[in-house]
Amino acid sequence: MNPNTPIECIILAGGLGTRLRSAVPDLPKCMAPIAGKPFVQYLINYLLEQGVSKFIFSLGYMHESIETFIQETYPQLNYTIALEAEPLGTGGAIFLACKQATAKNVLVMNGDTMFRIDAVQFMQFHEENQAQCSVALKPMQNFERYGVVEIGQDHKILSFKEKQHYATGLINGGVYALNTNYFLQLPFPEKFSFEKDFLEQYFSEANMLGQVQDEYFIDIGIPEDFERAGRELIDF
């Protein structure tokens, strides 16, 4: 991939945000206010800095609020909407959004997670290795909220381990590079989990790789980290 090649990005922003209800009632998770701005604004700004030139927003719950925000805040943004009529799971949402992609390989990101990787480097890694899916991995210490991803010296994913307490390990940072042609020809049901039904089912047969990037990471899915984001993201 040429460093000047534009990047196309899918942002998953259709979640109900049930774990955040106590802190953020009546808003989709990505619209949760962080230091006076919706979380998705930090995400879009970061991605624009990284050279993303087209966005595909995968929306569902309270999609009107997100669409209005994008129209008002980013009137020049090149984007499309993939709208779920009903919740399709992370996999179904990505599958629907991939049908609108024009690039052979797309960047995929969760709308409630900020993992500030070097996106150009990540996409280059994915394309140079002709991967069907690449996962951005974050080194962490003393955690139990995430499972662990094991990779070999060739970056090939060897296993996905269950959530439990780990002293150290690599976690799935919720950022993916995905070959859309490969993904769209797989026999999935309409509703499925990207993590369980794709990553964990296909890593051994697909060319599925992990790239470690030890960059800033936050997942606002629980109230404690939502509050922490308010203190930390103000710097970005």
Q: What ranges make up the beta strands (E) of 116-230?
A: 133-143, 148-151, 157-161, 166-179, 208-212, 217-219
Report all structural domains of the chain as residue ranges with CATH numbers, in order of start.
7-235 (3.90.550.10)
Model confidence band, residue 1 (pLDDT cutoffs 50, 70, 90): low
* CA–centroid distance for 172 within its chain: 10
pTM higher than the cut 0.75: yes
* Max CA pair span of the chain: 46
Q: For residue 119, count CB atoms less than 10 angstroms from its CB and return exposed for 0-12, middle for 13-18, buried for 19 or more.
A: buried
Q: Is a pLDDT exceeding 70 seen at residue 20?
A: no
Per-residue pLDDT tens over the stretch 203-227 = 999 999 999 999 999 998 777 888 8
> For 141-200, how does the pLDDT look when each residue is reduced to its tens digit (9 = 90+)?
999 989 999 999 999 999 999 999 999 999 999 999 999 999 999 999 999 999 999 999
- pLDDT (tens digit per residue) in 99-130: 999 999 999 999 989 999 999 999 999 999 99
**pLDDT score for 75:** 96
Tokens standing for 52? 């993303």
